[in-house]
A and B are shown apart, each in its own frame.
Chain A
Amino acid sequence: MSADGPPQPGRRLALGVWLAALAFCLYQLAHTRFVADLSMFLPDAPTEEQRLLVDQLRDGALTRMVLIGIDGADAPTRARISAAMKQRLEQATERKSGTDPGRTPVFVSVANGQSGGFEKERELLLAHRYALSPNVTPARFSVEGLRAAVDETVDLLASPAGALVKGLVARDPTGEMLAVIERLRPGGGPRTVNGVWASPDGSRALLVARTRAAGSDIDAQAQALAAVEAAFKASAQGAAALVVTGPAVFSVRSRALIKHDVERLALASLGLVVAILLSVYRSPVLLGLGLVPVACGALAGVAAVSLGFGAVHGITLGFGTTLIGEAIDYSIYLFVQSEQRDVGGAGWVAGFWPTIRLGVLTSIAGFSALLFSGLPGLAQLGLYSITGLVAAALVTRFVLPSMLPRNVAIRDLSALGESLSKALGVLARARWVVAAAAVAAVAVLATHGRIWDRDLASLNPISAKDRQDDARMRADLATADARIMVAARGASADAALASAERVGARLDTLVAAGTLGGYDSPAKVLPSLDTQRARLASLPPAAELRARLDKALVGSPLSASRLGAFVEDVERARAQAPLTREALDGTAMAAALEGLLFADSAGRWTALVGLRAAKGAGIDVSAVRQALVEHGLIPPPDALVIDLKAEADRLYAGYFERALLMSAVGLAVIVALLFGALRDAGRVARVMLPLAAAVLVVAAVHALAGTLLNLLHLVGLLLVVAIGSNYALFFDRIGQGGTPAARTLASLTLANITTVASFGVLALSDIPVLRAMGSTVSLGAFAALVFSAMLSRPGVTIGAGTR
């Protein structure tokens, strides 16, 4: 939509510009990608820690975990189902419409506690045990080292655990295979009942599946969930029930929720507004014309967001209802306020357009707080609303008047206006109510304690119960999210692993000192090439090894003559190349590395080392950081200690402060705009007073209802000021005596009803972002109208206005 053209001869021009813009928006719409993943509501991250955090939340290993629980029936039945599901899920393949159907597995791993998980990799691990075992050093293969290692193995044979290693002793008398397996096995793990993982009370069998696709690929995640459900159906017996949770479930479920909600809300909102307008206008033509600015606004909004962000989020579309609520007002003002003889709306343009223009500008100031919030998802909402409002206003101003047919006149609303004028007189005598309400609201807010909710989770559409279920299942699985991690960086995967090994060496001392319980490092799964080469280089040649064994095993129950297979294996290992990432493809080790060793878009590699707390203690992040700094690992060669929760809190707290500041700026701009229009501090104060009271009352009502106010409520309150200023301005005009009161009142009331109705529908949404906005604005707009009426000067009005 272009800027103001010359008013009279420019009608044709305005129409032309409008049609061209419409065509462009339609073209843009056809090329728009719609998305629904919630990462849009993750902030832009300014620091490197935060960027890594956001990447983790968006696409990290944790986002690929599907947690599966089997309830009901009895324990043996649950165990059978668990085993059958594991088998089915491991065979599940992706269905793709394109080429190569059914080849890519849906899950990279499915674990249920049956077996340690590395059975299939036994041969590979055995072949590479001397490169993988942390015990392999030159000292280990000296005479003394060999004696000590073999003694230990012989003692192990005496133990009940001896049965597990007996078969390997001749090839592996120093017990390296055991060391390798031990290192691969993560610490802890859930309880086992009937051979499969179960919750601590044993009432639920548990499985963990990790999807191949990233968490942000919602279509793939939906497929994974479908595979889980199908596997359960095919395996279920008796009264067993399936519980599935995890980020994949959340994103799939919230997408469905958003889609369902957005459709429902838009329809309900539109239906309500249409019904209201139809009952007032009694003219389908006028109704259709009234919706033109709204439709153009929505179209322009989507096109702008699509251009600016590359994709449009589902929640943004849901915000379309806010546009209906606000933009419909413009045409209401035009239709209702226009003189019946004012064909083409020229009189209206002169009399009312400046007030509406001011209303549009204040609304823009309000939505700007969203635009500059720093959260891409909210910025979308801001851009959408601002573009939509501007477009709707311009269409109302420049296009709509020329479309008004001569023979269609609005139903005479003067009767309604007259009764409203009387009501106004009654309201104006109750001006003490505004003061009382404001004082009561302040009292509530002052005594209420916590009012604001700074938690990122309050914007999450997943219900608190679902999140609790998820937390419980995680605790049961003892996979409590690795909250605190060290990110070891490097120019290549191998360099990142080497860096993780240096970090690990420091962490080992912290573990030994009891500061840390332990840590999980990708370098434990795949050591760096240098480390592997150093281990292999410490193996002596066959002749030398034989001579050392002869010396070492004098007097041992295990005689050197029985260890020919060992000498052969060592000789083979000496000639072997180190194990590479590529060689692990398709193994459980590759699955274990998945998400813990990755490259960013710039090609730099990160190895994530997850820290585990010592029993009964937290992790002392500063001690870990200190230990790494002392050894020059921070900053170069690039290790970062990240506390995910603390970082997320900090991140969001920063954005909350920023939103507060933005709102304050928005408010200041609104006041400045009013001052610019009214040029009278007293009048500005009179306009602002009812709005301030409305804001206080809305905040107090939310506090009383037990709702903590989040960022969206804040923006909603700002919109109350923006929308309410329109009402207050009209009352101010009435007060100045320059306006026919009855018509103005009728239009105001109608505009308010549509606004309250459409935002009220939004308040019924299951999506917190929309619900917060809806409940704030619907309540606030109504309060703003009533309070503005109460504080108006109807005495002047009735004398000067009615005719």
Chain B
Amino acid sequence: MRRLALAVLLLAAGSAQAEWSAAELFAMIAKDRPGRATFHERKFIALLDRPVESTGELTFTPPDRLEKRTITPRPERVTVDAERVTLERAGKRHSLGLRENPGVAVLVESIRATLAGDLEALTRAYSVALDGTPARWRLTLRPLDPAASQLVERIHIGGEKARVRTVEILLADGDRSVMSVTPVAP
């Protein structure tokens, strides 16, 4: 299964740059998985006259735990653990299963799988295209699940070497969000 996925990927992404493949990128990321980073996110929503911004911290704990702690505008914490998303906000806690919420899963899985260097997980949910060079690359992800693609059009993840620097999500309704990520020295 894994081999097949890789082969398909290589065919899809590798013809122009045979020396640079998604498999190699993810091997590189998996070897040097980041721990903490700060983020700055801007969401462009049609209903709103200007983008809403948020800042905070991302913490990734291998193999599959991702925590997104928002500091502004309102403290909030989102934790993704195996197959659950937990949202803590204003003293309340909500928990969602990823499987029954494909719209949430598609957003979470892109960044988590990329940070984890888990190409297999990524190719399960998206068609993956890679361009650029190891020094400056860009992944383009398109959801495979029809329900998810009703919601998310595509996701661009940009990075330098083993580091993810930007995550841009384009929603099907035209809204989008852009998140820049700055690694924090451990």
A residues adjacent to B (C-beta < 8 A): 113-115, 152, 154-155, 157-163, 166, 169-170, 182, 192-195, 557-559, 562
A502 to nearest B CB, angstroms? 25
Whether A160 contacts B43 by the Cβ 8 Å rule is no
Residues of B near A114 (CB, < 8 A) are 100
Interface pair A161/B100, CB less than 8 Å apart:
no
CB-contact partner of A557 in B41, B50, B104, under 8 A: B50
List B76-99 residues whose CB lies under 8 Å from chain A.
76, 78, 83-85, 87, 89, 92, 94, 97, 99
User: Which of B47, B78, B85, B89 has the most C-beta atoms of chain A within 10 angstroms of its own C-beta?
Assistant: B47
**A647: min CB distance to chain B, Å:** 33
For A559, the chain B residues whose CB sits under 8 A away are 49
CB distance from A635 to the nearest CB of B (A): 35
| A170 neighbours in B (Cβ, 8 Å) | 47
Most chain B CB inside 10 Å of its own CB: which residue of A114, A160, A169: A160
Q: Does B1 contact A (CB under 8 A)?
A: no
Q: Is B136 an interface residue (CB 8 A)?
A: no
Closest 6 CB pairs of A and B: A557-B48, A158-B52, A195-B100, A192-B97, A195-B99, A158-B54
Is B73 located at the chain interface by the 8 A CB criterion?
Answer: yes
B52 with A157: CB separation less than 8 A: yes
Name the contact of B53 in the complex, choosing from A113, A158, A160 (C-beta under 8 A).
A158
Given the complex, which residues of B lie within 8 Å of A161, measured CB to CB?
A: 87, 89, 94
* Closest A residue to B96 using CB positions: A192
* Known pairs A160-B87, A161-B87, A192-B84; A155 contacts B100 (CB<8 A): no
Query: Could you mark each residue 23-40 of chain B with 1 if its beta carbon is under 8 Å from any beta carbon of chain A, else 0?
Result: 000000000000000000
Cβ-defined contact, A558 with B49, below 8 A: yes
Q: Are A166 and B45 closer than 8 Å at their CB atoms?
A: yes
Given A114-B100, A192-B97, residue A160 in contact with residue B107 (CB < 8 A): yes
B124 interface residue (CB < 8 Å to A): no
For the complex with contacts A157-B45, A158-B43, A193-B83, 10 further pairs of A-B residues with Cβ separation under 8 Å are A115-B100, A152-B74, A157-B43, A159-B74, A161-B94, A163-B103, A170-B47, A182-B92, A558-B48, A558-B49
A195 near B70 with CB under 8 A, answer no
In the complex, B68 has a CB within 8 A of chain A: yes
Alpha-carbon distance A161/B88, docked complex (angstroms): 10
Which residues of B are at the interface with A, using a C-beta cutoff of 8 A? 41, 43, 45, 47-54, 68, 70, 73-74, 76, 78, 83-85, 87, 89, 92, 94, 97, 99-100, 103-104, 107-108, 151, 175
Q: Which residues of A contact B53 (CB under 8 A)?
A: 158
Q: How far is the CB of B54 from chain A (nearest CB, A)?
A: 4
- Closest chain-B Cβ to A727's Cβ sits at a distance in Å of 70
Q: From the candidates B43, B47, B76, B94, name the one contacting A558 in the complex (CB within 8 A).
A: B47
Contacts of B107 in A (CB 8 A): 160, 163
State how many angstroms separate the Cβ of B181 from the closest Cβ of chain A: 15
Q: Output the nearest chain A residue to B85 by Cβ-Cβ distance.
A: A160
* Closest CB in chain B relative to A603 CB, distance in Å: 40
A557 touching B103 in the complex, CB below 8 Å, given contacts A158-B41, A192-B84: no
Q: Which residues of B contact A152 (CB under 8 A)?
A: 74
**Shortest distance from the beta carbon of B82 to any chain A beta carbon, whole Å:** 10
Query: Given the complex of chains A and B, what is the CA–CA distance between A523 and B48 in angstroms?
Result: 36
Q: How far is the CA of A249 from the CA of B58 in the complex (A)?
A: 50
Could you say which residues of chain A place their CB within 8 Å of the CB of B73?
Answer: 155, 158
Return chain A residues, CB-CB under 8 Å to B45.
Answer: 157, 166
CB distance from B93 to the nearest CB of A (A): 10
Q: Count A-B contacts at CB 8 Å.
A: 68
State in angstroms the CA–CA spacing of A194 and B83 once bound together.
8
B78: nearest residue on chain A (CB-CB)?
Answer: A160
Q: Among B68, B73, B87, B151, which residue has the most Cβ atoms of chain A within 10 A?
A: B73
Decide if A159 touches B54 in the complex (CB within 8 Å).
yes
Verify A155–B74 contact, CB threshold 8 A: yes
Query: How far does the Cβ of B158 sit from chain A's closest Cβ, in whole Å?
Result: 20
With A and B bound together, what is the CA distance between A549 and B107 in angstroms?
33
Chain A positions within 8 Å of B47 at CB level: 166, 169-170, 558, 562
Q: Assess the B94–A157 pair: CB atoms within 8 A.
A: no
Say yes or no: B68 contacts A160, CB within 8 Å: yes
Smallest beta-carbon distance A512→chain B, Å: 11
Q: Which residues of B contact A157 (CB under 8 A)?
A: 43, 45, 48, 52
Q: How far is the CB of A449 from chain B (nearest CB, A)?
A: 46
A609, B152: Cα distance in complex, Å = 43
Is the Cβ of A162 less than 8 Å from the Cβ of B43? Answer: yes
18 chain-A/chain-B pairs, Cβ below 8 angstroms: A158-B43, A158-B52, A158-B54, A158-B70, A159-B54, A159-B87, A159-B89, A160-B78, A160-B87, A160-B107, A162-B43, A163-B107, A166-B47, A195-B97, A557-B51, A557-B52, A558-B47, A559-B49
- Contact of A160 (CB < 8 Å), options: B99, B104, B151: B104
Whether B104 and A163, one on each chain, are in contact in the complex, defined by CB atoms closer than 8 angstroms, is yes
Most chain B beta-carbon neighbours within 10 Å: one of A115, A159, A562:
A159
B48 pairs with A154, CB closer than 8 A: yes
Q: How far is the CB of A564 from chain B (nearest CB, A)?
A: 12
Find chain A residues with CB under 8 A from B89 CB: 159, 161
Closest to B74 in A: A155
Write out the residue numbers on chain B whose beta carbons fall within 8 Å of the beta carbon of A562: 47
How far is it, in angstroms, between the C-alpha of A169 and the C-alpha of B175 when the chains are bound? 14
On chain B, the residues within 8 Å of A113 by CB distance are 97
* A194 and B49 contact, Cβ closer than 8 Å, known pairs A155-B74, A158-B73: no
Chain A neighbourhood of B68, CB < 8 A: 160
User: How far does the Cβ of B98 sit from chain A's closest Cβ, in whole Å?
Assistant: 9
Q: Which residues of B contact A158 (CB under 8 A)?
A: 41, 43, 52-54, 70, 73
B99 contacts across to A, CB distance below 8 A = 194-195
A194-B103 Cα distance, complex, nearest whole Å? 16
Q: Specify the chain A residue showing the minimal Cβ separation from B84.
A: A192
CB neighbours (8 Å) of A160 from chain B are: 68, 78, 85, 87, 104, 107-108
Which residues from chain B contact A166 at a C-beta distance below 8 Å?
45, 47, 175
Which residues from chain A contact B151 at a C-beta distance below 8 Å? Answer: 163
Shortest B60–chain A CB gap in Å is 16
Contacting pair A155 B52 (CB below 8 A): yes
Query: How far, in Å, is B161 (CB) from chain A's closest CB?
Result: 27
Cα A557 to Cα B44 with chains together (Å)? 11
The smallest beta-carbon distance between A198 and chain B, in angstroms, is: 10
CA gap between A558 and B149 in the complex, in Å: 27
A192 adjacent to B104 (CB under 8 Å)? no
Chain B residues positioned under 8 Å from A193 (CB to CB) = 83, 97
User: For residue B84, which residues in chain A have a CB less than 8 angstroms away from its CB?
Assistant: 192
Complex Cα gap A125–B84 (Å): 27
Q: How far is the CA of A557 from the CA of B97 in the complex (A)?
A: 32
Q: How far is it, in angstroms, between the C-alpha of A194 and the C-alpha of B97 when the chains are bound?
A: 8
A657 CB to nearest chain B CB (Å): 47
Give A479 to B49 CA distance when docked, in angstroms.
46
State in angstroms the CA–CA spacing of A154 and B49 once bound together: 11
> Residues of B contacting A154 with CB < 8 Å?
48, 52
Instruction: List residues of chain B with CB within 8 A of the CB of A557.
Output: 48-52
Nearest chain B CB to A424 CB, angstrom units: 79
Q: Taking CB as reference atom, which chain B residue is nearest A182?
A: B92
Q: What is the CA–CA distance of A527 and B166 in the complex, to the nearest angstrom? A: 48
Interface centre among B49, B78, B151 (most CB of A within 10 A): B49
By a CB distance below 8 angstroms, the chain B residues around A558 are: 47-49
Contacts of B49 in A (CB 8 A): 557-559
| Cα-based distance from A679 to B108 in the complex (angstroms) | 93
User: With A194-B99, A558-B47, A558-B48 known to touch, is A159 a contact of B70 (CB < 8 Å)?
Assistant: yes
Bound-state Cα–Cα, A158 to B44, Å: 9
Distance to closest chain B CB from A155 (angstroms): 5
B167 to chain A, nearest CB (A): 12
> What distance in Å separates the Cβ of B50 from its nearest Cβ neighbour in chain A?
5
CA distance A148 to B83 in the complex (A): 34
Q: How far is the CA of A566 from the CA of B42 in the complex (A)?
A: 26
A115 — nearest CB in chain B belongs to which residue? B100
* Whole-angstrom distance between the Cβ of B58 and the nearest chain A Cβ: 12
A158 to B84, CA, bound (A): 20
Contact B76 A159 (CB under 8 A): yes
Instruction: Specify which chain B residues have a CB less than 8 angstroms from the CB of A192 in the assembled complex.
Output: 84, 97, 100
